[in-house]
Amino acid sequence: MASKIKPSFETTAWRWMRYSGILLIPLAWFHVYLQDVIVGVHAINIDYVAVRLADAGWVTYNFFLLLFAFAHGMYGLRQVMFDYVHKERTRRIFSILLLIVWLVISTIGAIALAMGARPELVQ
């Protein structure tokens, strides 16, 4: 009989990494396949990017790719930090700082994607 794990931030974060990782793998590999194999890096220019950003589906796709990939990177950084920081209070402070950095940079990325999709807002 499996024991029931009491939900906590750590178990929620662990589950989020596993579930979003299942989504991140095909998102990232399709991105690589599309950009490097189908289109080819030699054909990517400002016009290609503008066409992609004009499509709400691609903007959403890129947003989730940014969100999941950066979240995984920050969570990995947090785990590495835990190897070196042993005081609970310091760990908590660093974790909050990493969360704030993740939120700020993800928000900047989302705004950049939205502005790229609506070039009239960039002026």
At 18-30, the pLDDT tens digits run 998 899 999 999 9
Instruction: Look at residue 6 in the predicted model and tell me its pLDDT.
Output: 77
Judge whether residue 7 has pLDDT over 90. no
pTM (2 decimals)? 0.78
Give the dihedral sign, CA 24/25/27/28: positive
At 54-63, the pLDDT tens digits run 888 999 999 9
Please count the CA atoms within 13 angstroms of the CA of 14 that sit on its side-chain side: 7
DSSP state of 33: I
Instruction: Look at residue 50 in the predicted model and tell me its pLDDT.
Output: 84
Inter-CA distances, 36 with 10, 11, 16, 21, 91, Å: 37, 36, 29, 22, 40
At 87-120, the pLDDT tens digits run 999 999 999 999 999 999 999 999 988 887 666 6
Q: For the purposes of burial, counting CB atoms within 10 Å of the CB of 62, is it exposed (0-12), middle (13-18) or buried (19 or more)?
A: buried
- From the list 72, 71, 65, the residue with the least C-alpha distance to 30 is 65
Which has more pLDDT, 118 or 121? Answer: 118
Average pLDDT estimate for 41-62: 88
Main-chain dihedrals φ then ψ at residue 118, nearest 5 degrees: -130, 80
